[in-house]
Amino acid sequence: MDGMKPGARTHGPASLRLSFNTAVPAHLRGGLLEVSHVITEPAARNTGAASLLLQKVCAEADRARKVLLLFPKPFGDGPLDQAALIDW
């Protein structure tokens, strides 16, 4: 996979993980990465750190000509519900 590999990405207090999605047919996986575990430290929430991180990852994917998958769903006691995550 040229230019973009799975793994962790961070920007300040925000982090996320990129991985292959095994639900995607094997012959398509090289061109797709799933974004998951988007987390911002509680003290830094609502500062735009996660948004900036996602923008950077999208730019990286554009340069590498990869498609990103993101399935927004609340996790634990996070501050955003399903609708807010979709809007974000």
pLDDT in tens, 34-56: 999 999 988 998 899 999 999 99
Q: Would you give the DSSP letter of residue 6?
A: S
Strand pairing partners for 33?
68
Lowest mean pLDDT among 18-27, 50-59, 79-88: 79-88
Name the pLDDT band for 1 (thresholds 50, 70, 90): very low
Global pTM reads 0.83
Percent over 90 (pLDDT), the chain: 55
What is the Cα–Cα distance from 55 to 81, expressed in whole angstroms?
21
What is the Cα–Cα distance from 60 to 51, expressed in whole angstroms?
14
- Per-residue pLDDT, averaged over 55-70, amounts to 95
